Copies of this chain bind each other. A is one copy, B any other.
């Protein structure tokens, strides 16, 4: 069959998709929240899935380690990171992986260090397993968001066992530098923390940046790091629920599975595995095109937001298709997400779900068409003007 231009879906076409993004809010609201893209998917992914349908091939298969092998090829080719298939374990999604890692490497009552603002499910992975969030807020200086590891050093929590590190960072869009990663590595060693490094946005870096996996910073940090990643963000296939955990040492893997039997965690579907392998092995051309469009959208926001929302603080992201916008200076009179939902009919992520104290912030997903993005910014600008 012929597919429409996968970068030019209309609002009507997008709303006809049965996705959560397009059906959470009323029909007159333009959604720009949950992190999937209003685009299509890579042709090799469609071909891999079509092949299964054409052969009516839905019997048992673990694909004999195909996902693990594709992970190893991908990490080496894209990031220069040498890994081994035996250290890779397939899992459904990164939220599941973070729940599993917190469960495996800490006890109820222990602390888990988490930079704020933070992707909300990581907070759930801590509180939902009876652990405590040890909040480590990032600081914003004139140039951007900075880690503030010294704040924990000055006031360490002796029962902190795990650091959930998000790199590139969601929602601030920071792609941490090698110097910063070296600091994180030393910090984790110094405080004897197991690190869960969420690198799901590793593909989506702008301005020619290349992602540097935390675990590639050296054997000492690798030995205590679980890298969790997936093709779902870069290749727009979260529905397929396929991800991978990389254990930075066999001992770490052993500790994990001593606490959690692998079969308790399930296994991705064959469709998810085949799609992921196709994306990682053959999806580069599609992704390059997609990244260019995302970067153009980011550049548009960098120009448009200061004019549309005068006084708001928006630091254009180095990575991810997420814009974190601080509207505190706009005096909206209510949480920013609520304001834009009610007055602009734009559905954003609420800042307060990323940590307390962020209710003046919103997260805007800009992985959409230029036409929709301009309409979103226009509506927000009008609402702010008319407040």
Query: Is A143 interfacial (CB 8 A cutoff)?
Result: no
A side interface size, CB within 8 A = 66
**CA–CA, A93 and B125, complex, Å:** 22
Query: Is A249 interfacial (CB 8 A cutoff)?
Result: no
Query: Is A378 interfacial (CB 8 A cutoff)?
Result: no
In the bound complex, residues from chain B placing their C-beta under 8 Å from that of A103 are 264
For residue A312, give the distance in angstroms from its CB to the closest CB of chain B: 27
In the bound complex, residues from chain B placing their C-beta under 8 Å from that of A57 are 17-19, 239
Query: Is A254 interfacial (CB 8 A cutoff)?
Result: no
Q: How many chain copies?
A: 2
Query: Is A332 interfacial (CB 8 A cutoff)?
Result: no
Cβ contacts A52-70/B at 8 Å (1 or 0 each): 1111111111111000000
**CA–CA, A121 and B263, complex, Å:** 9
Query: Is A177 interfacial (CB 8 A cutoff)?
Result: no
Contacts known (A53-B50, A129-B261); A61 close to B20, Cβ less than 8 A:
yes
In the bound complex, residues from chain B placing their C-beta under 8 Å from that of A261 are 99, 128-129
The residue in chain B whose Cβ has the minimal distance to the Cβ of A35 is B60
If over half of A's interface residues share one DSSP class (helix, strand or loop), that class is named, otherwise mixed; here it is loop
Query: Is A95 interfacial (CB 8 A cutoff)?
Result: yes
Query: Is A16 interfacial (CB 8 A cutoff)?
Result: yes
Query: Is A240 interfacial (CB 8 A cutoff)?
Result: yes
Task: Enumerate A1-37 residues with CB–CB distance to B below 8 Å.
Answer: 1, 3, 6, 13, 16-21, 23, 34, 36-37
User: Do the beta carbons of B61 and A263 come within 8 Å of each other?
Assistant: no
In the bound complex, residues from chain B placing their C-beta under 8 Å from that of A56 are 3, 6, 39-41, 46
Contacts known (A261-B99, A266-B96, A267-B241); A34 close to B60, Cβ less than 8 A:
yes
User: Do the beta carbons of B267 and A20 come within 8 Å of each other?
Assistant: no
Contacts known (A239-B58, A268-B241); A128 close to B19, Cβ less than 8 A:
no
Contacts known (A99-B261, A103-B264); A238 close to B60, Cβ less than 8 A:
yes
User: Do the beta carbons of A18 and B61 come within 8 Å of each other?
Assistant: yes
Query: Is A91 interfacial (CB 8 A cutoff)?
Result: yes
User: Do the beta carbons of A265 and B53 come within 8 Å of each other?
Assistant: no
**CA–CA, A99 and B267, complex, Å:** 13
User: Do the beta carbons of B21 and A60 come within 8 Å of each other?
Assistant: yes
User: Do the beta carbons of B3 and A54 come within 8 Å of each other?
Assistant: yes
User: Do the beta carbons of B62 and A20 come within 8 Å of each other?
Assistant: yes
Contacts known (A59-B17, A236-B58); A99 close to B271, Cβ less than 8 A:
no
Query: Is A92 interfacial (CB 8 A cutoff)?
Result: yes
Task: Enumerate A222-281 residues with CB–CB distance to B below 8 Å.
Answer: 236-242, 261, 263-272, 275
Contacts known (A1-B54, A266-B265); A20 close to B60, Cβ less than 8 A:
yes
Query: Is A100 interfacial (CB 8 A cutoff)?
Result: yes
The residue in chain B whose Cβ has the minimal distance to the Cβ of A93 is B266
In the bound complex, residues from chain B placing their C-beta under 8 Å from that of A3 are 54, 56
5 A-B contact pairs sorted by A residue (CB < 8 Å)? A6-B56, A23-B64, A96-B267, A269-B272, A271-B271
